[in-house]
Structure 1
Amino acid sequence: MDATNSDGPRPGGDDPRRDAAARPVDVLDTVASTLTEIEASAAARVVLAQLLTATLTAFTRTGSVRDPLPETAPGSPQEALSVLAGLDHLRSSLSAMDAAWQVTAEQRIRRADEQRGVPAAAQGRGANNEIALARRVSPAASSFSLASARRLVQHMPGTVDALWEGAVTAQQASTVAGALSTASPETCRRIDELIRVSPLTLHGKGHKRLRSNIDEMVQRLEPETSRERAERAARGRHLSMTPLADGMARVSAVLRGIDAVGMMSALQAEAESLRAAGAKTSVPALEADLLVDAVLARREGTASSGTAPAAEAMSTEDAARTSSAASAPDAFEGIVPAEELEATAPSEPPRRPRTTPGIEIGIVITERALFDRDDEAESAHLEGYGSIPAHIVRDTLLGRPPGHLRHDEGDHPDEEVSAFFRRLYVNPRTGDLVGMESRARAFPAGLARMIRWRDSTCRTPWCNARIRHSDHVVPYHRGGPTSYANGQGLCVRCNLLKEHGLWLLEVLTGEASSASVSTASGETSGPAQAPGSADAPPAAWVWTSPHGARGISWRPPLLHSATSTAQEPPSSEADEPPAGSPPEADPPPAPPPA
């Protein structure tokens, strides 16, 4: 890349480099000379040196593109992608510095309070608000950020190092720190060691899948406190509303995971049924309408029976909508049963099923976890949610509130169980589901279900969307089988865009990638066959875009042991520490490059 001539955009005004070719001075030389002339303390100069080192590393050793910025042609798509990748890498490094300096600021403010004679209990009390002002965020947001920074810096130095080197994104570090908010320091250190040894295993994982993995490891490492954590979390369920533009609002609900998955499955099934019957409204909008109708229909039903205030205060439109919903067949039957609408005495609460009749919810669980009541370390996998403690599944099937404490062994007359079971068997060594294969082009329902349960979320790197399509990794017209190994779950958007251009999918191996295939219809860069066997899908696919952006899509390990020794992933340039190290400040504002 030519440092004196670029057609790239510049925020805030015209590009001063547009006529740089007519000037003999290189822009990098000008910036470097300006920095060296800055008069500042030694510690301040170290901070600037670290920033420059992070910038140099981000744009010369970027791991998420094939070609780093200096090796791209000016004005090419590769140049633009490498700039974006470098900025993301730099953002990770700056996040590491930000976390370190938040902790440093808190410690210095606490020491200043001590020198002023502030009582020990009040020392550092105002640090959070001062940090919030300096970072231009709200005190509440600053409090959460400071707690995460403290956890990372004090107990997870390996994760901070990976963040500084760009091997972990800022969002991933935030997700890890948030998932460990109730974990012990020892658990934080053990998970940090896994990340330090194998940072590549986090590549391509969106925050939903990563959060599920961390939750499963915490469950394995801290089984003795699992029920207390679940019970404490269940007490915090609530609703909130956020006003949006144009007369809209967002209603958020913090619910028990199994209840939330059952509710979303019922809403989706009914919305798709309405679409199939000719409704023109989109499925997401229909889901929202069904939720509103179910709640307001319940209120209308209880008001007519005298158990709740009448609905005179409702608008004409709302009254008409709830009346029609109450007179029509209950579209939300199972979540709001008819007997609940017809209840006449508040002293006799209706019994409600924990799961919705007619709605299938995928739960992957081992027989040991299902029947061994004394093993609290096991986890299950809930479709559409992720990892969940196995004792919550057991309690739900027994009609008890998830997360109840062991001393609470009485019956719960307001709970009854309505569940449909499908037995799934996993490999006891790898934790993989047993595979299937079909000669049909379309994935059979059972095989598609297994792929969906295995992949959990869209397999495109970094995507967190719900799986809607079953896709052939090696295209069917190129000889790819309709098999468990050659199948992957994708969202609608990713499945459609995957066929746009020459996207390459390669198997991640010790030699980087050996069997590569093209998703375009005309070309292939390797053998058109799926590696492995029908019941042994590859551990990861390397995705490469038509212009060189790269990402890794790992096969989610289901119900694996979090305490087992982590396997060393294939080495890559992205994992090597950057060269050059500025002097370390006291206290260090960020981990210096190795």
Structure 2
Amino acid sequence: MAEREFVSELACTLRVPQRTAQTLIAESRALTEDLPATREALQNGEITYRHAQVLIGQAWTVPDEAKAAFEASLLRSAGRLTAAKLKYNARKLRERLHPETITARHERSVADRATYFQAEADGMASLVLYDSVDRVQSAYDRVTTAALSLQGPDEPRTLTQLRTDVLTDLLIDGVTPSGLGKGIRATVNVTVPVLTLMGRSEEAGHLEGYGPIDPDTARRLASGAPSFTRLLVHPETGVVLSVGRTSYKVPKDLKRWLRIRDETCRFPGCNRAAAHSDLDHSLDWQFQGRTAHDNLAHLCPGCHSLKSETGWRLEHLGDGRLEWTSPTGRSFTSEPGTDLATDQPR
């Protein structure tokens, strides 16, 4: 917990995610203690930091007695190669130097399989899958085969577009062999200004977890799709018109209002979705904390622990803004995911 307390403050100070701060610390330690020649080459401008990261990433699991030779071998050509080509060479060399079999390392690495969502510009986003190569390659081949079957003289979409459409259709409507997913549809919240919904304004809508979306998409999502929660928002005041009220206990409507407001865990830099975090009383219930919008915020389990077990302090500033004070006295403001522009939910 002491290490997490330090990392969290460094992350907030540098305005990077905590995982990025952890990586930065580890890379700095590697350059200082394990790869001094790489640090010197970087300092002299012979390689870029991206090249240095490639060497660090591959050297972490090379035996200590072999690191100097590993580093020297790669640095001989690093200045003439792209980072991608250097990584390819480093992977091959690492295989020869690593004392463990690739089978043992693969079995351990499978535990790190993951899927990432990344918001992009212009109403787009990326979905990244990291898993065992046989599973990923099989999934890619299946999608490609299905996309190829759709090609024809009357099909205007490219293979890349078809492959993407097939994949999203399978993910949204598909069912696993065990039956998982049958009858399950994703639910997200889309906030649409009233005049946009009526076609009298082209003001952007707001999709939970992403941000601004084009008016046509917002109108389509709000037009009656059963898997979307429709929220009508006044175009001038931003007050939510259809949900939200204060109650002694957290009522369903207030929970929804807070989820829309927060979108993510409210610790600075944490991006875990509010839908997968807990509503926390900022002033604990046992210390006379109120169950109210200005004393509630979503926190993931890890950030909840920071608030409860370290020197971090939290204060509500109004309009959904939170001020976090670090153990050394630095202040950081957490802005709400959606600006509802009101201190009182209605």
Could you say which structure has the larger radius of gyration? 1
Normalised TM-score (structure 2): 0.46
Higher strand share: 2
Normalised TM-score (structure 1): 0.28
Task: With a CA cutoff of 8 Å and minimum separation of 6, indicate the structure with the bigger relative contact order.
Answer: 1
